[in-house]
């Protein structure tokens, strides 16, 4: 139980942090201010500022997020009449604005705000404590910081460093970078897995390990032989070989074999042994397994080929929405239940599970649904076609509708997972 919980939290956090780092990296490259990069959610435990970004560790160890300036991210609201503290340098320019009651700055000058603009004109105007007769106005430094109510210090977001000020290609790349990072993580994970295992299973019709005292061994089949056909049916792939042999339990059939050494083709008669794999299904087996490719190139390319293979399977699964409905989706509850199963199988299975989940997260985020990265990319494409962005208010409404639909889907999926795994 404890191991499953810890594994779930680690896996889920890795997936989300890697995803968010994609957005973070390309936003920074595009000149977009990333105000905060958070690991976890909830109250802050620790924070550190560097190059305009505040890095925070938060109490709930589930995922993380990035706050990009102007990216649907609300500036800390400072209203007229609100008391704040100002740190002013020797040139009379505000470098820090404190809105938190939890943080006290000895050098801060108390002010009651009358007017403030931290996006365009960069000023703050109000009455200093003890002098409500004289209205004072201070310029605000472009890279000034603001201490938010919970004590987190982040940089203010002038309009020139906001998301919408970046070029369209840069914004599109920033939106796509999260899912892209998930695909890269899967490629790396599958490649590492191939090296740890010492090789990868070949998908062609070559024979790998031959079971001692099995039917294949007795028939003279050796490692490296190719099974060209089974019972007259052509078998180019290992999946074809397995399907054809399993379909003929206790039946005498001919295998067309290409010899591993000289390439000589011969026909070998075998009778697959029947074996029950469940109460209702009996299959034939001859005691062979697929060939294991151990070359360096095979291990390197496996990360790419297997990632693509899993992506195709996921797209096929998504297509079944039209026949099976949204039951094909799993939420956090389903992921937790699956984590419990792979933890029992061992670390290698957990590693494989991480890669598959990463691909799932990348693909789901690319679905053309408002509030997801795919929905944002659709809006980017529309902007490119129109030659101008959508009205911010309309885009906000579309995003809110998408977010609402996502919440409804999450509730449905969670309920479905609860029924599937616990009832």
Burial 121-145 (b: 16+ CB within 10 A, else e): ebebebbeeeeeeeeeebebbeebb
**Domains observed in the chain:** 83-156 (no CATH), 201-293 (2.30.42.10), 296-422 (no CATH)
Pairwise CA distance, residues 9 & 1, whole Å? 12
Q: What are phi and psi of 188, to 5 degrees?
A: -65, -45
Q: Is 108 helix (H, G, I), strand (E, B) or coil?
A: coil
Q: What is the 3-state secondary structure (H, E, C) of 257-290?
A: EECCCCCCEEEEEECCEEEECCCCCEEEECCEEE
Our answer to whether residue 395 is catalytic in this structure is no
What are 242's two structure tokens?
């397995």
What is the chain's mean pLDDT, rounded? 87
Pairwise CA distance, residues 180 & 22, whole Å? 7
CA end-to-end distance (rounded Å), the chain? 19
What percent of the chain is predicted at pLDDT more than 90? Answer: 50
Query: Tens digit of pLDDT for each residue in 359-407?
Result: 989 998 998 887 789 988 998 998 898 888 777 777 777 777 777 777 7
Query: Tens digit of pLDDT for each residue in 35-86?
Result: 999 999 888 898 999 999 999 999 988 888 999 998 665 556 788 989 999 9
Q: Is 403 helix (H, G, I), strand (E, B) or coil?
A: helix
Instruction: Indicate whether this model's pTM tops 0.75.
Output: yes
| 244 has pLDDT over 70 | yes
What are 280's two structure tokens?
């209702």
Pairwise CA distance, residues 419 & 123, whole Å? 56
H/E run at residue 38: strand 34-50
Q: How many residues does the chain have?
A: 423
Pairwise CA distance, residues 38 & 24, whole Å? 11
Instruction: State the burial class of residue 229 (Cβ atoms within 10 Å of its Cβ: 0-12, 13-18, 19+).
Output: buried
């Amino acid at each position: 139980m404890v191991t499953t919980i810890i594994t779930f939290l680690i896996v889920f956090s890795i997936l989300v942090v890697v995803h968010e780092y994609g957005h973070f990296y390309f936003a920074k490259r595009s000149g977009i201010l990333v105000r905060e990069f958070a690991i976890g959610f909830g109250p802050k435990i620790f924070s550190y500022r560097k190059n305009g970004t505040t890095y925070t560790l938060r109490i709930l160890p589930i995922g993380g997020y990035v706050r990009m300036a102007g990216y649907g991210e609300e500036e800390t609201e400072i209203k007229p009449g609100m008391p704040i503290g100002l740190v002013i340098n020797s040139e009379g320019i505000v470098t820090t604005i404190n809105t938190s009651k939890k943080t006290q700055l000895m050098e801060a000058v108390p002010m009651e705000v009358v007017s403030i603009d931290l996006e365009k004109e960069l000023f703050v105007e109000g009455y200093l404590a003890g002098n409500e007769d004289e209205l004072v106005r201070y310029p605000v430094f472009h890279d000034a910081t603001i201490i938010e109510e919970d004590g987190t210090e982040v940089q203010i977001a002038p309009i020139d460093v906001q998301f919408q000020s970046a070029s369209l290609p840069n914004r599109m790349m920033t939106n796509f970078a999260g899912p892209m990072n998930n695909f890269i993580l899967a490629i790396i994970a599958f490649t590492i897995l191939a090296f740890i295992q010492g090789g990868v299973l070949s998908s062609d019709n070559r024979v790998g390990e031959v079971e001692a005292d099995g039917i294949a061994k007795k028939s003279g089949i050796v490692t490296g032989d190719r099974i060209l056909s089974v019972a007259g049916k052509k078998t180019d792939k290992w999946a074809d070989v397995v399907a054809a042999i399993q379909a003929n339990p206790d039946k005498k059939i001919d295998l067309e074999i290409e010899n591993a050494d000289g390439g000589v083709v011969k026909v070998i008669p075998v009778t697959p042994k029947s074996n029950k794999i469940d109460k209702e299904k009996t299959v034939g087996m001859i005691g062979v397994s697929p060939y294991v490719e151990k070359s360096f190139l095979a291990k390197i390319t496996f990360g790419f080929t297997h990632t693509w293979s899993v992506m195709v399977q996921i797209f096929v699964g998504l297509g079944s929405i039209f026949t099976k409905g949204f039951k094909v989706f799993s939420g956090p509850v389903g992921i937790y239940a699956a984590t419990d199963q792979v933890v029992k199988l061992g670390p290698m299975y957990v590693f494989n599970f991480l890669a598959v989940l990463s691909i799932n997260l990348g693909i789901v985020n690319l679905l053309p649904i408002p509030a997801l990265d795919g929905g944002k990319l659709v809006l980017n494409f529309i902007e490119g076609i129109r030659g101008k962005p959508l009205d911010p208010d309309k885009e906000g409404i579309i995003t809110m509708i998408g977010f609402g639909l996502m919440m409804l889907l999450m509730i449905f999926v969670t309920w479905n997972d609860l029924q599937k795994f616990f009832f």
